[in-house]
Amino acid sequence: MTRVIRVGRPTAAFAALMLGACARPGAAPVMSPSLAAPVAPVAAATAAAAPAPATGVAARPVTVVPNPNAPKVLVIATGGTIAGVQNAPGTLGAYRAGTLTAEQITASVPELARYARVETEQFSNVASTLVTPEMWVKLAKRINVVLQRGDLAGVVVTHGTDRLEETAFFLYLTVRSSKPVVVVGAQRPATGISPDGPINLLSAVRTAASPKAVQKGVMVVMDDRILSARESRKLYQRTGGFSTGDMGMLGVVASQGPEFFFAPVRRFGERSEFDLDGVDTLPKVELTMSYPGGTGQTFTTNPKGVVVATTGMTAAENATYRALRQTGVVVVTSFTSGENVNGGGGGDGPPPPARVDTTAQRDPAQRESASRDSVARPAAAPVPPGVTALHLTATKARILLMVALTKTKDPREIQRIFNEY
Ligand code: SIN
């Protein structure tokens, strides 16, 4: 037996919740970070006292026949513009990201029921600039747990677009499942003119529900494009703003559903070696840029690793980062565009030989003084090799380094990891 859902207007309950959300102009973002369990709807308490609602969410007359046999998909909401509500709905004006709940954003897309039996869970409700590495760890652990459910086809994570690519890449490295995980956001708030959230959510759920999406790793689905989380990046703040650069997309969400044309072949998912058991925080890794005339950066934060975005370092920068490596900090260089492939070795090949780099070898003055010295002095300690990122932006190289440092501090082993993932 099928149930017909007719949606012409938001339900009274939904309207009340929306009003509650809208009735707090200028309030701080709702922060309930790091919650592995569902939280209460953010606005329910304030809704009752409010006057007649004007939700701002455009009514869409639609008749949906739910598919009772559709795959189950869990939508885990974290916040962002996809859950954003404007102070003046229906305008191009300011809005608060992370306002609507998981329930509210899925309820506003009744078409989801054609393709999936959707469950929801509220992980947090924040602008994505408030998402922390500790939250990545909690979210990945939660997804690893729920994907063990035999009845669940896949997971969708709704997320702010500002930091979406980072969270998606962390999940790509640490969710050890073949089931699809799709990260989705929107560049226009739910109450805006032509919001992109509803269609993006529908495409994300269709992808997560699809058997074609198995073994594709964590994906970003935006604007009908299916992108690998490894390559996806936000190029600009308009719809269509997510891209994968030279590497292209995995597929497209067409009218008939997701169509894949490519599959990722690097290491991820079930083949990932990164086990988050016992990990609650990630090692500190700093990120910096090199530039003409640069002398390199030193840090007071005691990082375990540093990523330098560079197309080629100055001699002074080289010296600074060589000295940093000498202190045991792992230094990774990443090409500024993230598009470079040379330097890290082959994806399936052996790690490149360590570049043994001693001051005595490099510095002619020291070499000369060493040869004049009749008393044998101990050779200078070899400088640990630097690590080269392979076709990763610096922000993603930082995440891979943070994850790699949970396993090893050996730069040769970390180079192997950069070559494989
Ligand atoms: C955010 O990242 O939370 C706000 C921006 C967006 O979602 O597009």
- Residue 121's CATH number: 3.40.50.1170
Which of the residues 55, 78, 81, 174 is marked catalytic? Answer: 81
- Residue ending a domain, among 218, 236, 271, is 271
Q: Are 260 and 378 part of one and the same domain? A: no
Q: Is residue 216 domain-resident?
A: yes
CA distance 253 to 297: 44
Q: Who lines ligand 1 at CB under 6 A?
A: 79-81, 97, 127-128, 160-163, 185, 187
- Show pLDDT as tens, one digit a residue, over the chain (421 residues): 333 343 333 433 344 444 333 333 333 333 333 333 333 333 322 233 333 334 456 767 889 999 999 999 999 999 999 999 999 999 999 999 999 999 999 999 999 999 999 999 999 999 999 999 999 999 999 999 999 999 999 999 999 999 999 999 999 999 999 999 999 999 999 999 999 999 999 999 999 999 999 999 999 999 999 999 999 999 999 999 999 999 999 999 999 999 999 999 999 999 999 999 999 999 999 999 999 999 999 999 999 999 999 999 999 999 999 999 999 999 999 999 999 998 764 434 444 444 444 444 444 444 444 444 445 566 778 899 999 999 999 999 999 999 999 999 999 999 999 999 9
Number of separate domains in the chain: 2
The atom number, within ligand 1, closest to the CA of 185 reads: 7
Q: Are 301 and 219 part of one and the same domain? A: no
Tell me whether residue 81 is one of the annotated catalytic residues. yes
- Residue 336's CATH number: 3.40.50.40
Q: Are 260 and 323 part of one and the same domain? A: no
Q: Are 196 and 146 part of one and the same domain? A: yes
Distance 231 CA to ligand 1 centre (A): 19
Q: Is residue 278 domain-resident?
A: no
Q: Are 245 and 295 part of one and the same domain? A: no
The atom number, within ligand 1, closest to the CA of 126 reads: 3
Q: Are 252 and 372 part of one and the same domain? A: no
- Residue ending a domain, among 221, 249, 271, is 271
Distance 93 CA to ligand 1 centre (A): 15
Q: Is residue 280 domain-resident?
A: no
Q: Are 100 and 18 part of one and the same domain? A: yes
- Residue ending a domain, among 239, 271, 303, is 271
Q: Are 294 and 257 part of one and the same domain? A: no
Q: Are 245 and 385 part of one and the same domain? A: no
Distance 196 CA to ligand 1 centre (A): 13
Q: Are 259 and 327 part of one and the same domain? A: no
Residue 80 near residue 123, CB atoms below 8 Å: no
Q: Are 24 and 116 part of one and the same domain? A: yes
CA distance 228 to 218: 6
Which of 363, 296, 361 is CA-nearest to residue 331? Answer: 296
Distance 160 CA to ligand 1 centre (A): 4
| Residue-range definition of the domain harbouring residue 386 | 285-420
